[in-house]
Amino acid sequence: MPFKPGKTPGDIARKINKALTVDLPADIERGLFTMYTTLAGTADFYVPVDTSTLVKSRSYRVRHNGEKWEMTYGYYTDYAAALHSPKEGGKMDNWKPMDPYEREWRTSNASNFVGNGTGGWNPNARQGWMNIAWDEVGDDALKNFARMIEPK
């Protein structure tokens, strides 16, 4: 038998599902989701758009950590971290969006081009978009959470 009783991948998935659907109080779940949508909605305003893969990769996770429930959210593509928080002096450091006219000019000289040259663009795109969202609406997100868990 390759798995111990109660330790199969299916057993683990059932435990996670139970924690997220049964054990998680409804008001906490609503509060965390409201917090997520407040932060993510603002972050999306600053997310770079090329093929929409990055913005579509956004998701959130809720975990029970002892006495606390923790919510994390992020953008989960292989290049999200490198673009959000680039290595200083690296290829993506000081990245900024290119308008379509600039893109056309830069694609004529491949040594100047970063990106794949397809899709759209977001003129508001900035590196550190999740940090920007926290700075802009973090207090509102916390207030929204508190409002959702207030006793009725």
Q: What residue segments make up the domains of the chain, in order of their start? A: 13-147
Q: Please give the pLDDT value at position 118.
A: 52
Express each pLDDT in 33-59 by its tens digit: 999 999 999 999 999 887 788 999 999
Express each pLDDT in 70-83 by its tens digit: 899 999 999 899 88
Q: Considering the entire predicted model, what is its pTM? A: 0.70
CA distances to 16, 45, 64, 66 from 22, rounded to whole Å, are 10, 34, 12, 16
